[in-house]
A and B are shown apart, each in its own frame.
Chain A
Amino acid sequence: MTYVTNGNLAVAAEGGKIDPMHQFLIEPVLGRPWIVGGYDLSFTNSALWMVITLVALWLFMLGGMKRELVPSRWQAAVEGFTGFVQNMLISNVGPEGKRFVPYVFSLFMFILFANVLGLMPVGIVPGWHPFTITSHLTVTGVLAIISFSIVLIVGFGKHGFHFFSLFVPHGTPLPMIPLIFVVELLSFLVRPFSLGLRLFVAMTAGHILLKVLAAFVINGINLGPGYIAIVSLPSFVLMIGITLLELLVAAIQAYVFALLTSVYLNDAVNLH
């Protein structure tokens, strides 16, 4: 018997051993890897869920991009998202921020859809395993590196080597300049790591928590009625609450990623 809840396929009933990391395993969808010339090119569950995210996003945008004069509900929803991202960029970067709306919008929507799809209860269908692509540092790290590269390209392209004045705030006393420069440079270089790490760890932590609680529910049920009352039921109620919290975290992390990207773009466009 397998017990399915919250989009996480919980441990098999007879096992009893909690294995919260199994859900993050990347494996080929078709069962065995497809090796070409020594490289593993298999279509993995990670790739599958990226495609699902892309299709969901595409359908969502397709329904709202009809450009009707009187917006339908769907178009109003899409315009809500685009307006949200545009406001965020204009208030953080200024009028020049409009150039970055396409990038930040794609980033925000991809992360949001990936996070929320990872929480969907698709595990109810036997044999289906939900997978949160943003729970891997490789994915979030690459997103962070893209953001950081755009900041560097915009910064150096617009200001040339004057971009380095970003690391020396106005009015720094002369003897302090070498120290401040090093500190500011370090804080600048650490940005892509903190950007990628935050999203990845927030997603991983939430899914581990849900899986551990799900295992408590199963193990309590297996141990008998007394344990159901004191372990399974409270854990299950807690899971419902945590799931709602995770939905909030999924949205907040997508927002924070887009917000920090626009703050960093502001540094590149306007210096200090």
Chain B
Amino acid sequence: MDANAAKLLGAGLAAIGMGIAALGVGNVFAAFLEGALRNPGAADGQQGRLFIGFAGAELLGLLAFVTMIILVFVA
């Protein structure tokens, strides 16, 4: 296979990772809302943890993006 074509294919495959990270971020907020609606009194105290979970899930999607950018522009 042509090296350039392989690079672009790899970048496209890396984009799948961003989609899956989107599922993860959705999952974080869905679980938070589910819990928060059952016990609204405890919800405000957990917002810090919500954003830590969000940041963790988002970071993995962003790493897929970095892989993509490196494949297209650097490698």
Contacts and interface: CB of A to CB of B under 8 A. Distances in A.
A198 B59 contact: yes
Contacts, number: 38
Contacts of A21: 73
B42 interface: no
Contact of A259 (B51, B63, B66): B51
The range of chain B's interface size is 10 to 19
Interface in B41-60: 45, 48, 51-52, 54-55, 58-59
A197 B55 CA distance: 11
A260 interface: yes
Majority-rule SS of B interface residues: helix
A1 B69 CA distance: 29
A197 B66 CA distance: 9
27 contacts: A21-B73, A91-B45, A91-B48, A92-B48, A194-B59, A197-B59, A197-B63, A197-B66, A198-B55, A198-B59, A201-B62, A202-B58, A202-B62, A204-B69, A205-B62, A205-B65, A252-B51, A252-B54, A255-B51, A256-B52, A256-B54, A256-B55, A259-B48, A259-B52, A260-B52, A260-B55, A263-B48
Interface of B: 45, 48, 51-52, 54-55, 58-59, 62-63, 65-66, 69, 73
